[in-house]
Amino acid sequence: MTPEALHERRRHRTEREIREAALTLFEEHGVDGTTVDDIAREAGVSPRTVFRYAATKERAALIPEPEIERRVDEALAALDPGERLGPQLERLWREVLASFDDGRSEAGREALRLWRLVPREPRLLLAAIAVDEERLGRTQRMLIDLGHDALTARVVLETTSAVLRVALDRWAREPAGPGLVATYDEACAALRKHA
């Protein structure tokens, strides 16, 4: 293994440990009852390391899963500017949600925990909105670079992302429901039928 690959593996492990520590402590003590020092101690790192990966304690729970981020970026880069953007983004989000395996995969368990926690923690909700806005801006720039016009990219991206958030929210509130992908498909169908 190259030194770069080893460094990358360590970095991802540290990100995962910080994210897991933040989620666990927020679940147990709430955001207000948790400090960066607590997160650092739980993750086995220094507070300085926590701040290297997350600007705030709330963002520590929102550190992205690198494998999912990589797959999304690759899928976005492979979108065909000659095809309708909406159906392509729907397929992409469906693939991401399928990787959560209804909360059985590691990424799915973390997503479920986070989506259950966010409605109860206003400061975490605000951080999640900020992270989502940053991600949407970055994705919109990628779509424009791929040849989609700015207005179409923004409208379709915002719309499909809203449907994604609705599906995740419903799944977190009703985990015994039809499943995350089925819930997403149902939300997409509702948009197409009524919008």
Q: CATH number of the domain at 32, please.
A: 1.10.10.60
Do 72 and 168 belong to one domain? yes
Interval 174-191: pLDDT, tens: 978 899 999 999 999 999
Q: Are residue 49 and residue 85 in the same domain, yes or no?
A: no
Residues 11 and 87 placed together within one structural domain of the fold? no
For residues 49 and 101, membership in a common domain is answered with no
The token pair that represents 147 in the structure block = 């040849």
Same domain, 81 and 35: no
pTM value surpassing 0.85: yes
Rg, C-alpha atoms of the chain: 18
Same-domain status, 146 and 123? yes
What CATH number corresponds to the domain at position 184?
Answer: 1.10.357.10
User: What dihedral angle (degrees, nearest 10) is formed by the CA atoms of 66, 37, 130, 89?
Assistant: 20
Identify the domain containing residue 55 by its residue range. 3-60
Distance between CA atoms of 110 and 103, rounded to whole angstroms? 8
pLDDT (tens digit, 0 to 9) for every residue of the chain, 195 residues total?
Answer: 788 878 888 999 999 999 999 999 999 999 999 999 999 999 999 999 999 999 999 999 999 999 899 999 999 999 998 899 999 999 999 999 999 999 999 999 999 999 999 999 999 999 999 999 999 999 999 999 999 999 999 999 999 999 999 999 999 999 788 999 999 999 999 998 987
Query: Looking at the structure, do residues 43 and 72 belong to the same domain, yes or no?
Result: no
Question: 35 with 121, same domain?
Answer: no
Distances, alpha carbon 111 to alpha carbons 14, 63, 87, 140, 186, in Å: 18, 11, 24, 23, 20
- DSSP percent split of the chain into helix, strand, coil, nearest 5: 80, 0, 20
Please check whether residues 29 and 72 belong to one and the same domain.
Answer: no
How far apart are the C-alpha atoms of 51 and 36, rounded to whole Å? 8
